[in-house]
Structure 1
Amino acid sequence: MAIIKDKDFIRGKCPMTKEDIRVLTIAKMDIQEDSKIIDIGSGTGTITVQSAIEASKGMVYSIERDEDAYDTTIKNIDKFNCTNVEITKGEAIEVLDSYIEKGIKVDSIFIGGSGGSIEKIIDRCDALLKEDGALVMNFITLDNCYKAMEYVKRYSYLTNISLVNISNNREGTYMMISNNPIFIVKCSKGEV
């Protein structure tokens, strides 16, 4: 897997899944060359772009509701020439409902943002995932992680939770600066 460096992405005012977390997240998504993927809450588009590169013969469906984030995702899709991405601006639930109506089935789904609707989003993700699919979610707060994990219990998933604490040195020194800890949750469908 050739990981794109943070500095190579166009940045807006929106959140970005940073490189170290992105590497782990992408690895947990089990992406194959022909995978179909949904990225919910694309932010700057780092997961969308990295997924599109990994699934070069597949498809990435990217969803973002915020105007600045949507525009930044499009800029990064264009910068990295990702021709296998379909991006939609809108509320995740409405967009996911349209995918269900179209009969779309995907290999993996990443939830990077839920806008407070994690339960409804998980319901739709279950309908969209193939029987051996992977649902991967990143959370900054324990509260949101707990809510998602309690809700996902109603489905047949094998779950794995990682709490990842990354620190990087500050500009040529040995002083380590800590990033926010991130919960990375992988739910494997049909593997209970």
Structure 2
Amino acid sequence: MSSLWPYVTSGIPDHLFERLPGIPLSKREVRLLIVSLLRLKRDSVLWDIGAGTGTVSVEAGLLCSQGKVIAVERDEDVAALIRRNCDRFGVTNVDVIEGSAPDCLKNLTHQPDCVCVEGGSPIKEILKTVWQHLQPQGRIVATAANFENLYAISEGLAELQVRNIEVVQSTINRLETRGNRQVFAAVDPIFVLSGEKLD
């Protein structure tokens, strides 16, 4: 448990994370959806591929107190940002791997029982490699910000014969103060796809 976020529930406010310009951050509401679809256990091993700011890794690290999170990020500065965000929240069970997926995934020693794919290309090759390592009854969750990625992920999951596939599009509006008025501002919609490996 972190003094910055001393709660057992997920949903850390976005502003509590350190950020870098241009580096994506999974918004709190989308993160809650991702975490719920991962169906984490206290001892889960999660691969977070394309971890970006590390928000999902931090949330999962806090939830999986006896487990392990492997955050994969190809950019050295962004990987350092993930480490700093883990330090901010006192998360010690996240290992940050600097490398490009899918190539760097072959050398990971902790086999996952859940995987989150938040970015990366070629996406279908990443999914295929992840599937080879995913434990039976494992969960896979992937996000897409556009129709091209949505199609590629959907096709990749179908080719792998992922079971119990769900597709959700988030539509989130947040109340914001602009000048002397309060308005609802839309958060960019994200598609979240999930499924499981039954054998």
Q: TM-score, normalised by structure 2?
A: 0.89
How far off its partner does 1:124 sit? 1.0
**45, 51, 54: which one aligns with 1:36:** 45
Counterpart position of 1:128 = 133
Aligned-residue sequence identity (percent) comes to 27
**117, 136, 156: which one aligns with 2:122:** 117
Q: Give secondary structure in 2 for the equivalent of 1:34.
A: coil
Query: What residue ranges of structure 1 are gaps of 5+ in the alignment?
Result: none
State the alpha-carbon separation in 2 of the partners of residues 151 and 58 from structure 1: 28
Could you list the per-position Cα deviations for residues 87-135 of structure 1 after superposition, in whole angstroms to 9, with x for gaps in the alignment? 1111111221112xx4x32111000111x21111011110111110110
Q: Give secondary structure in 1 for the equivalent of 2:92.
A: coil
Amino acid at match of 1:165: T
Q: Give secondary structure in 2 for the equivalent of 1:184.
A: strand
Query: What residue ranges of structure 2 are gaps of 5+ in the alignment?
Result: 1-8
How far off its partner does 1:66 sit? 1.8
Q: Give secondary structure in 2 for the equivalent of 1:16.
A: coil
State the alpha-carbon separation in 2 of the partners of residues 171 and 52 from structure 1: 33
- 1:63 matched to 2:63? The reply is no
**113, 121, 125: which one aligns with 1:107:** 113
- 1:44/1:73 contact within 8 Å kept: yes
Q: CA RMSD in A?
A: 1.4
Q: TM-score, normalised by structure 1?
A: 0.92
Could you list the per-position Cα deviations for residues 129-153 of structure 1 after superposition, in whole angstroms to 9, with x for gaps in the alignment? 1110110001100111111111221
How far off its partner does 1:67 sit? 2.7
- 1:152 matched to 2:157? The reply is yes
Amino acid at match of 1:106: P
Counterpart position of 1:162 = 168
Counterpart position of 1:15 = 24
Structure 1 stretches of at least 4 aligned residues deviating more than 2 Å after TM superposition: 171-174
